[in-house]
Structures are given as C-alpha cells and as structure tokens.
C-alpha cells in the first residue's frame, strides 16, 4: 500500500471524519497532549493581540488546544479535508476563531492573510508530500521571532519505540479503523509513522528550513519516544520582545 497523499488523503479524512472524534475520545491523553504542545509555544497574556495559525486543524482538537493556551488570540485554523473542517466548524467557538478550507500548500488567496505570531501543526507534517516546502511556507507566514510547535509522530532512535508503536497499532488502532470503515486511512497512518523522519531528523529538517532554537520535547504515557513536540522560532525578534 502506498501512502495516501493530497486529494486521496483528503477523501480518506472526509470519510474518517464521521468517527474521528469518537476515536480521539478513547485515545488516552490525546487532547491533554495537544494542550501541552500548545502551551509549549509559551504565549504570554492569554495571547492578547496575537495572531495564531492551526495547520491541519482536523475536527478542531488542536484548535481547542490553541484556544485554551491563548483564549484572547485571533486563531485561523486550516484544513484540506472538507469533512474534517465541517465537523470542526459545527462546534461552538468564540468569534476570534475562524476556519479555512485549503491545503497548506495552497493558502494564497484564502483568508490566511498577513503574518502570524505563532503556528501549531498537529499530526500534519507526516501527511504532506513535501515537508520542506510546507516549512518554507510556514516560515514566510510567521513574524520575525514567530514560534512554531509541531506535534507529531516521529519515532525516537531506538528499536523499542518502533516496537511499541507496532504493538499499539496492531492491537488498538487497526481494529478500530476497520470497525469504522476507515481501514485505508489507518493503514496510511501506520505506514506514515514508520516512514516519517525520526525525531532527530525532523529537528534537523527544521534547522535546514531556517528555524532557530529547535527543541525536541517528549510527551508522557505510551506516546513517550513515539510522539514529540518540536518547538522552534523564526530568526529575528518577536513583536513586543527585545
């Protein structure tokens, strides 16, 4: 099976959107860990006066995490899947949150305008055809000194992490995907986790893309060594800081 990309991946997420929130609800720590990654952006003052991007927002779990970390910020949440976005937009949001239907590779001409102070990308980069291109776009969209948090399956260097992932996938995720009629999407998930950058390699990719201050932070529970938060910033000094 090849990885799903672009329109084929969006179609799979459109279908998967019907059961997505139910699967998230039984994944221990899913929302808690997103909130942790959003907090790792270190946004001051509840985000007052800041503009934030949620890239690959899905059904809104990562958007809710950003909102919890920065309730006063303007938040623009983007996703390529109409089905996922419809589920997100149907939830209750304050007026400072807006949703945009677009692939992150083609946001020009959409409501994603101007520069942003920070971006969160949760479970996005493993899914894109050209992560370097998307990192370049994100760098352009961020203010000087702008912050990026990438929350992603990126395995640690040892064999243990790959083995733990394979056990969790085989015992829990694959059966759940079959039950919901989304076997292809969850086969893609497995393959994309196994084939994506190891954590140290993604950190290096961020540096090559021109990000500074790259840090790789662990997440607790079964995800330790499997899912990480990568935090980084664009060169320069952020607004209001010196």
Ligand X SMILES: C[S@@+](CC[C@H](N)C(=O)[O-])C[C@H]1O[C@@H](n2cnc3c(N)ncnc32)[C@H](O)[C@@H]1O
List residues binding ligand X (CB under 6 A). Answer: 9-10, 13, 34, 56-58, 61-62, 78-81, 84, 103-105, 122-124, 127-128
C-beta of 156: minimal distance to ligand X in Å?
Answer: 20
Which residue number, 37 or 234, has a Cβ lying nearer to ligand X?
Answer: 37
C-beta of 99: minimal distance to ligand X in Å?
Answer: 11
Which residue number, 62 or 145, has a Cβ lying nearer to ligand X?
Answer: 62
C-beta of 85: minimal distance to ligand X in Å?
Answer: 8
Which residue number, 109 or 159, has a Cβ lying nearer to ligand X?
Answer: 109
Structure tokens given for 69: 């970390």
Q: Is 95 exposed, middle or buried (0-12, 13-18, 19+ CB in 10 A)?
A: exposed
Residue nearest to ligand X (CB): 58
C-beta of 104: minimal distance to ligand X in Å?
Answer: 4
26 touches 49 (CB < 8 A): no
Q: Is 146 exposed, middle or buried (0-12, 13-18, 19+ CB in 10 A)?
A: buried
| Beta bridge mates, 153 | 227
Which residue number, 103 or 156, has a Cβ lying nearer to ligand X?
Answer: 103
Strand 116-122 relative to strand 97-101, pairing: unpaired
Which residue number, 14 or 216, has a Cβ lying nearer to ligand X?
Answer: 14
C-beta of 240: minimal distance to ligand X in Å?
Answer: 27
Residue with tokens 């992560």: 131
d(CA 75, CA 198): 30
């Amino acid at each position: 099976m090849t990885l799903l990309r672009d329109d084929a991946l969006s179609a799979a997420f459109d279908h998967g959107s019907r059961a997505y929130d139910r699967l998230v609800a039984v994944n221990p720590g899913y929302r808690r860990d997103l909130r942790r990654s959003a907090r790792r952006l270190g946004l001051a003052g509840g985000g007052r006066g800041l503009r934030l991007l949620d890239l690959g927002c899905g059904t809104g779990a990562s958007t809710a995490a950003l909102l919890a970390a920065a309730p006063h910020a303007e938040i623009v949440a983007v996703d390529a899947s109409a089905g996922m976005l419809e589920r997100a937009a149907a939830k209750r949001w304050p007026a400072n949150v807006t949703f945009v239907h677009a692939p992150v590779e083609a946001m020009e001409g959409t409501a994603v305008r101007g520069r942003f102070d920070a971006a969160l990308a949760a479970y996005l980069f493993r899914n894109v055809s050209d992560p370097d291109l998307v990192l370049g776009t994100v760098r352009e969209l961020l203010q000087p000194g702008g912050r990026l948090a990438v929350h992603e399956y990126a395995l640690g260097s040892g064999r243990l992490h790959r083995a733990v992932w394979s056990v969790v996938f085989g015992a829990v995720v694959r059966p759940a995907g079959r039950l919901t009629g989304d076997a292809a999407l969850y086969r893609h998930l497995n393959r994309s986790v196994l084939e994506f950058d190891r954590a140290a390699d993604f950190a290096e990719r961020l540096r090559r893309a021109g990000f500074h201050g790259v840090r790789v932070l662990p997440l607790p529970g079964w995800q330790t060594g499997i899912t990480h938060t990568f935090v980084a910033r664009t060169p320069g000094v952020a607004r209001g800081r010196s």
